[in-house]
Structure 1
Amino acid sequence: MNRRDAIKNLSLTFGVTIATPTLLSILNACSNNEQEWVPDYLNRTQEYMIRHLVDIMLPKSETPGGVELNIVQFIDKMIAHTMTKKDQQLFNQGYLEFDNTFHNIYKKVSLKGTKEDYKTLLEMYFNISEEKQQLIFKQLESNVLDLEKKPKLFIYKFLTTIRYYSLLGFYTSQEIMEGQLNYNANMGYYESCVDL
């Protein structure tokens, strides 16, 4: 056998061996089958609740909606991998308060809630006066949340976290950046010392 042919075949074999797992992972990432997704952080009730809230905050219109862009998966990853333990505890406490409020108002568990139920509850918290909004956001910025005195603040922390990560995921998704915002990652190149 010719030495050059042997080296060429060896390099092709090596390239195929390396490329195969990469190609399979890319094809799996493109799959939109929700049955395959296993959350890193969220439990089943949290995932169901957040899915409805994301659908209300970012509904499908002429642009893709939040659920269609898999924002729930993005929120799950962000909570699991970027939030501190303290922030995760605040998020969980807000979820529990929101879940209790849902149960008290509708007399059913959150997993039985409809999109309209969540929309009504969300409006209850965000259709408030400008002064109340400023006061709530000022209290949230202070990072001193006392459960006994202000349990509603945990709910606002929970809802604003979902809103923040929903918007972050939406505006940084490839489909929105390239398809709607006409983002161009190639900004050209820099030339120094050019005569004006």
Structure 2
Amino acid sequence: MKRREALKQIGLTLGYSALAPSALSILQSCTSEAKKWTPVFFTEEEAIIIKNLVDLILPKTDKSPGALDVNVPQFIDLYASKAYDDKTVVKYREEIKSIVDALPISEDGAKGLKPEDYTTLLDKYLKISKTEANQLRKERNLVFKALSNLRNQTVWAYKTSEIVGEKVLAYDPIPAQQIGCLPLDEATEGKAWSL
């Protein structure tokens, strides 16, 4: 089986994901400094937009690193370039284009966008009620689908990063004992388990 096919079968396809060791190796290769990032799949404009959206989806806090700290945009870019087949690439490019088209881009391009432009877009499509979300799904709204998938990809890439897995989530590299009926607060201080 080819690597591309293996990743496709076990990984993320437009927002639906399953954790896979092969995908983790892609994430591990995204450890270069974010400022030196040259996108492989995205255009330079798309990369700027994705980077800003991902930063708003999972910002840095006092207690945890943000998506940019663990190179989520680089991971998504590399994953799309290596795991998607031709048909999926076409669909994914359409989704990314719909996000770009939904932003008020001036002659300065993506560099001229303000944080409020990204916040407005995310609020319009992701901070909505279930009824509004269902309506957008029925209408097959491409921007809604694209932003939902980007959010899913962002969370997936974030949770599978080494830093988050070992420092933010509950982590036990060699789980040797099982203690039943122990409240989560006692077992992991309320943290979810790292995979």
TM-score bracket relative to the smaller structure: 0.5 to 0.7
Residue of structure 1 equivalent to 2:90: 89
Given candidates 153, 161, 176, the residue that maps to 1:165 is: 153
In 1, the alpha carbon distance for the partners of 2:31 and 2:106 equals 39
Change (3 A) 1:181 1:154: same
Q: Is the 8 A contact 2:31 2:71 kept in 1?
A: no
Aligned-partner Cα distance in 2 for 1:169–1:107:
31
Q: Partners in 2 of 1:98 and 1:117 — Cα distance?
A: 12
Offset of residue 64 of structure 1: 0.3
Structure having the larger proportion of residues in helix: 1
Shift of 1:132: 2.1
| Alpha carbons 1:90, 1:158 under 8 Å: kept | no
> Take 1:87 and 1:160, find their aligned partners in 2: how far apart are those partners?
16
Distance 1:42 1:70 in 2: 15
TM-score by length of 1: 0.66
Aligned partner of 1:159: which letter? L
Residue 80 of structure 1 corresponds to which residue in structure 2? Answer: 81
C-alpha displacement of 1:134: 2.7
Partner of 1:38: 38
Instruction: Kindly indicate whether the alpha-carbon contact (under 8 Å) linking 2:59 and 2:66 is maintained by their aligned counterparts in 1.
Output: yes
Deviation at 1:31, TM superposition (A): 4.2
Say if 1:46 and 1:95, in contact at 8 Å, map to a contact too.
yes
What letter corresponds to residue 46 of structure 2 in structure 1? Answer: Q
Count how many residue pairs are aligned between Structure 1 and Structure 2: 148
**Rg larger in 1 or in 2?**
1
Q: Is the Cα–Cα contact under 8 Å of residues 51 and 67 in structure 1 kept in the other structure?
A: yes
Segments ≥4 residues shifted beyond 6 Å: none
Runs of 5+ unmatched residues, structure 1: 1-27, 140-149, 190-196
Give me the whole-angstrom Cα distance separating, in 2, the residues matched to 1:57 and 1:122: 8
- Mapped to 2, the partners of 1:135 and 1:77 lie a distance apart of 32
**Contact 1:71/1:169 (CA < 8 Å) preserved in 2?**
yes
Task: Check 1:177–1:70 CA distance in 2 against 1; reply closer, same or farther (3 A cut).
Answer: same
Q: Secondary structure at the match of 1:56?
A: helix
1:107, distance to aligned residue in structure 2 (A): 4.7
Q: Give the gaps of 5 or more residues in structure 2.
A: 1-28, 178-195
1:177 paired residue number: 165
Between the aligned residues of both structures, percent identity stands at: 24
1:13-69 CA distance string (max 9 Å, x none): xxxxxxxxxxxxxxx97542632x332211101100000000100001020000111
CA distance in 1, matches of 2:72, 2:34: 14
Q: 2:160 & 2:34 partners in 1: Cα distance?
A: 21
- In structure 2, distance between residues paired with 1:176 and 1:118: 25
Q: 1:31 to 1:93 in 2, by over 3 A?
A: closer
Q: Which amino acid aligns with 1:153?
A: N
Q: 1:188 aligns with which of 151, 154, 176?
A: 176
Q: 1:99 to 1:30 in 2, by over 3 A?
A: closer
Conserved in 2, the CA contact under 8 Å of 1:90 and 1:154? Answer: no
Whichever residue aligns with residue 155 of structure 1, its letter is V
